[in-house]
Structure 1
Amino acid sequence: MSNKVTVFDIPSTLKRHITSANITKPDFGIVNDNWSQEDFAVLSNENGVQHGVPVKTDYYSVILCLSGSCKKTIGHFVFEVYTNSIHLVSPAYITSFEDASDDLLLYQVLFKKEFLSHNFLKENILDNLLEVNPDYPPIYGLPKKGVASLKALYEKISDECKEQGAFHLQILRLLLTDLLYEMNRACESCLLNSTRHLSKQYQLVYKFKKLVEEKFLILKTVQEYADELFISAKYLTEIVKNETGQNALHVIHNRLYLEAQYLLSSSGLSIKEITERLNFDNSSHFSRFFKRFAGNNPSEFKQQQ
């Protein structure tokens, strides 16, 4: 079986962005191909689309939302991106978005870990900055004053990329480090104002969703996950519904559907190979499952991509 699955790096992301952008001289970010740095870039989503198929990257993104909203999926977390928020996308997870509002405006800094770890930040310090709080969705609200200062910081990074003056890479590393500390500060502020971390129910649902991320190819029923968590299937169903508003089986199926979308849009695998990789009994079973979510069958979805 072929294992070829597309993982976007920064150059391929820039190429895709430049191809789709209609802006010749943006106020923020890069929309031309004269940027040669392969481990750092800045982008905005101006003239962006309203939804995107699941993708995986080999870099981190720190994204500031200045207006509008969208629904974002990052691994086992599903949350709303909202005005005056900042969120982190890690290369460890598949990510997608949908239902983007017409006024959605995002500033994005893309970087590989090596950009900072090479002779600049110690590995353990960088890991702490990038891990933030793994028990919560990686999105944090910002006060108005904080938004203004972060917007200025992003724009300074963008200007530095465009001007490429002396020592610009060293300055970019300093500015990115500042950005990561500001994101962590926003995280701490959100946690101080939240009581959810006191809830045992929230912690149990988090363990369930994390387990789904790890074992969705193997475990397919609520009972199997309940057994792993040493609770009853009925109780697991109740607490997942209370915390997320979703049925526990839907959480399991949605993760499988996300993987199916990713493989159909970002790989050269055949429908039969994807069926086997996702551990369905046969292609017909996989097709029925996929059509319940997408409204069309896997072959039609693949052709559309």
Structure 2
Amino acid sequence: MWFDDLKEYIQRQTEWMVHTDTPHEGYLQEGERESFLRKKLMLEERKANIVNNNVQARVLREQTIEKTKQIDYLVHYSYLIRQGFDFYIEEQLQERRATFIDDVMVSDEMITPEGKPSETVKIDREIDPAFNRKFEYNRLEAVKYAERWWNTFNPAYKAFDVDCTNYISQCLYAGGIPMTDHTIRTKGWWFRQNNWSFSWTVANAFRWHLSGSRSGLRAQEVSSAHQLMPGDVICYDFEGDGRWDHTTIVVGKDSVGEPLVNAHTTNSRMRYWGYEDSTAYTENIKYKFFRIVSSS
């Protein structure tokens, strides 16, 4: 549904506002992005920073012509700012217009006070052979790969010091998920020779790719680890701060049906999924449980 696409768009925009080094900068207009980066610099000069950002949206108007839907919506931004030992909330209201074709979001723009659209953000849906390719995800092959390489590196790929997501991407690719190729690292899910997408190698980018991808590697979020099957994926935010730090693949279940996972960085095999025994664990840990889906 178009509403889910809009919600995901706003969520990614919110993530970028707090962590501007994440690969979601395409979700703001260039002028807005530069303006927001200046805001960050101004805060730094005042020895302040944004520690959290809450965004709420309300649909104002809806217009549909054949397959094209235009949604005008009001966004309420709330920035929690820390300056020394003090905290305060900065707020801003903004009217925007999103355009959807067949319920897929293709552009977004800010509406000026004069009621006119400003610069349009075009939402880049990867144009790639994998977009319409039908495939069956082979969970057994993904798990076999995870078992083969859990404690070493496949020489066909670059090895990283922080290798968890690179390893998981290789497992999924071994299970038959086609790459969505692109010319820049912030788009698609791909690896070739000495170049790769952020979503292939970076835990935070991988987590958001799983939520938003509509071609190639796609996933359905479920509410509990118990619902996962071998070949599915768990993402970890150890600090609970919105930056996703780690990725594992389910390779089995224990006697009560809870997932056991393999991982790289700290190479692990058949480890209980909760990671309470990790030195990175905190009481604020958050998890995302993703069921990898085939293309029908």
Which protein has greater RCO, CA pairs closer than 8 Å, 6+ apart? 1
More strand by share: 2
Fold equivalence (TM over 0.5): no
The structure carrying a bigger helix percent of its residues is 1
The TM-score normalised by the length of structure 1 is 0.30
